Copies of this chain bind each other. A is one copy, B any other.
Amino acid sequence: MQKFFSAADIDNLSEAVQEALTLKANPRAHAELGKHKTLGLVFLNPSLRTRLSTQKAAIQLGMDVMVMNMDKDGWALETQDGVVMNGTTVEHIREAAAVMGEYCDILGLRSFPSLKDKEADYTEDLFNKFIKFCGVPVVSLESATRHPLQSLTDLITITEHKTVDKPKVVLAWAPHVKALPQAVPNSFSEWMGKAQQQGLVDFVIAHPKGYELSQEFTEGVNITHDLNEALAGADFVYVKNWSSFEDYGKVYPVEEDWLITNKTLEQTNAAKVMHCLPVRRDLELSAEVLDGPHSLVIKEASNRVWAAQLVLKRMLENLK
C-alpha cells in the first residue's frame, strides 16, 4: 500500500476488517515489522483521537514516531505553482513534503478544508501534492473531503457488533451550530457504498433537503429526507452533522427535529448508535443515547488503533 486516502485503497473490505481484528487480538505480533522505521505525523489542524490512536498503532508495530504540528497560520504552505511567494506563505509544499519524506519512511497528514473554496477543497490539491512530492507512503489523517481511518474503523466496529449477517446501516444528518466539513460523511458513504457492493451492509443516508453530499461519494446509495423511514429496522445509526455541499459550507436552518433520542430509536432494530467524536451532547445527539446501551461511540473510538495499525502494517510490508 502506497497511500491510504480513500476506499479505493483497499480492495477486499472483509479481508481488511478480519486482518484488523487479528491485530486487535494480538497487538504486538508484528513488533519487529516497524523496527528502525519512522512514522512522521504532520498536523495542519488539531487532533485527539487520530493523533493518539495512530501513535499507539505505530508503537505497537515497533516504529519510531515523530509528530510535527504545523499550524496553518504559523507555517502557511504554498500549494500553487507559478506564484511569486512574496505574501504570507513561507514554504512551498514541494519542498516541505520532500524534506519530510527524507526523514520518514511513512508520513501521515491531516489537513482540513477551507469550506470557502469548493474547488480547491474537492480537488484535494494540498493532499495530492503532499503525496506527489514527499516520495514515501502517506496515510490520510483526514483530508479536505475524506477521513478514511475513521471509515475503516467504523466498518470494523459494525462487523464486531452486528447481530444479523447484512445489517442495515443509516447515516443520519444531525444538527450543529457550526459549519462542519463533509469529510466524515463523504468517507462513510464511500466506504459503506463499497461495503454494500461487496454484500456486507444495506446502506441508507437520511438528511434534510439542501444537505446533499457530492454525488462522487453517494453513487448507488439510497438517500431519503425522511429520518423515520431510514431508521425503520436499522441496525446501526451513524450520526453526523455536515454543512451544505451545494451552497458550499453554509448552514441552513432545519425545521424538523433531527436529534436522535431513545424514543426515535424505538423504530429501529435495537440499533447501535455511532459517532466519530467529538460530539456535542443534546445538540447533535441526545445525552441519553450517548450514556445508554445503544451507544458504541467509545468502542468505536477505541477501534481507531486497529484501523491505523492495519494500514501501517500493509505499508510496512510494502516497504520491504
Is the pair B36, A290 in contact by a Cβ cutoff of 8 Å?
no
CB distance from A30 to the nearest CB of B (A): 13
CB distance from A243 to the nearest CB of B (A): 16
Chain B residues lying within 8 Å of A281, measured Cβ to Cβ, are: 78, 83-85, 92
A170 at the interface (CB under 8 A from B): no
Residue of B whose beta carbon sits closest to that of A77: B278
CA distance A287 to B46 in the complex (A): 31
A95 at the interface (CB under 8 A from B): yes
Q: Is the interface of A mostly helix, strand, loop or mixed?
A: mixed
Of B48, B78, B98, the residue contacting A99 (CB under 8 A) is: B48
CB distance from A16 to the nearest CB of B (A): 21
A51 at the interface (CB under 8 A from B): yes
CA distance A177 to B86 in the complex (A): 6
A28 at the interface (CB under 8 A from B): yes
Is the pair B283, A102 in contact by a Cβ cutoff of 8 Å?
no
A244 at the interface (CB under 8 A from B): no
Residue of B whose beta carbon sits closest to that of A301: B99
CB distance from A223 to the nearest CB of B (A): 27
A103 at the interface (CB under 8 A from B): yes
Of B74, B282, B302, the residue contacting A102 (CB under 8 A) is: B302
A280 at the interface (CB under 8 A from B): yes
CA distance A281 to B85 in the complex (A): 6
A70 at the interface (CB under 8 A from B): yes
Is the pair B95, A75 in contact by a Cβ cutoff of 8 Å?
no
Is the pair B59, A103 in contact by a Cβ cutoff of 8 Å?
no
CA distance A301 to B279 in the complex (A): 40
Is the pair A102, B66 in contact by a Cβ cutoff of 8 Å?
no
Interface string of A93-113 (1 = CB under 8 A from B): 011101110111000000000
A132 at the interface (CB under 8 A from B): no
Is the pair A298, B46 in contact by a Cβ cutoff of 8 Å?
no
CB distance from A276 to the nearest CB of B (A): 11
Is the pair A55, B66 in contact by a Cβ cutoff of 8 Å?
yes
Is the pair B298, A90 in contact by a Cβ cutoff of 8 Å?
no
A99 with B177, Cβ < 8 A, contacts A66-B56, A290-B94 known: no
Interface string of A285-320 (1 = CB under 8 A from B): 001001100000110011001000000000000000
Residue of B whose beta carbon sits closest to that of A81: B287
CB distance from A285 to the nearest CB of B (A): 10
A85 with B280, Cβ < 8 A, contacts A98-B298, A99-B301 known: yes
Chain B residues lying within 8 Å of A38, measured Cβ to Cβ, are: 56, 59
Considering the complex of A and B, which 6 residue pairs feature the smallest CB-CB distances, nearest first? A91-B278, A85-B280, A102-B302, A99-B301, A84-B282, A52-B103
15 example contacts (A-B, Cβ-Cβ < 8 A) are as follows A46-B74, A48-B91, A48-B99, A49-B99, A52-B100, A78-B281, A81-B287, A86-B283, A90-B278, A91-B278, A92-B281, A95-B297, A98-B298, A99-B302, A103-B302
